[in-house]
Chains A and B, each alone.
Chain A
């Protein structure tokens, strides 16, 4: 059973909608990550937070807006998305010097 929980598991939204993805970790880790996984492409790192502070923004379009209110929770706010944004969005967490633990992802479909 994963210590990283993502909700919802599936999300279908129109291009004009606003929705949020949620990630929660119960592992006591201090870093959290958002990744995008598209078919036939490597995992793309989107954002990294260390101790609630954003330390990495990998040139992600502004229609994706992350929020990390504390070390256990991470959100990805979505608005005005494009069809090419349809993908599996994975959240991960880690402790310093340790590998990342992944959630099961949110499968996002943009109509």
Chain B
């Protein structure tokens, strides 16, 4: 069975500061990992994904995440927060099989607040 733990349901940063959102996963097979963002009154938008290959993945809006197998982590970072980054962020894992449709397990989400 797979699971996701997002440490911190609410993270607050100042504009221009580093953003770090933590995600740890559990999976019995090599995982595929995702970060999604949800703005108010909207659905989820894919930020980035890790399937195989390079462990540091870059996504949209300047975000990146690093897959660390030894730590079972996939933390999301951005060097400099912008006011428009304020949203809820979800980490998800799947025991993906190449070519199949993924069954995602989501974390509870982290609400990011950016202060001026």
Report B67 CB to chain A, min CB distance, Å: 15
- Give the B interface residue count (CB, 8 A): 24
Report B7 CB to chain A, min CB distance, Å: 14
A81 at interface (Cβ–Cβ under 8 A)? no
Which residue of the partner chain, among A2, A42, A48, contacts B101 with CB atoms under 8 Å?
A48
Report B93 CB to chain A, min CB distance, Å: 11
Q: Is there an interface contact between A56 and B103, defined as CB atoms closer than 8 Å?
A: yes
Q: Is there an interface contact between A90 and B103, defined as CB atoms closer than 8 Å?
A: no
Q: Which residues of B63-116 are within 8 A (CB) of A?
A: 90, 98-109
Other A-B pairs beyond A40-B108, A100-B46, A105-B42, 6, CB < 8 Å? A42-B4, A45-B104, A50-B101, A97-B101, A100-B104, A102-B44
The 4 lowest CB-CB distance pairs between A and B, nearest first, are A102-B43, A31-B101, A102-B44, A43-B106
**B residues at A contact (CB < 8 Å):** 4, 9, 34, 36, 41-46, 49, 90, 98-109
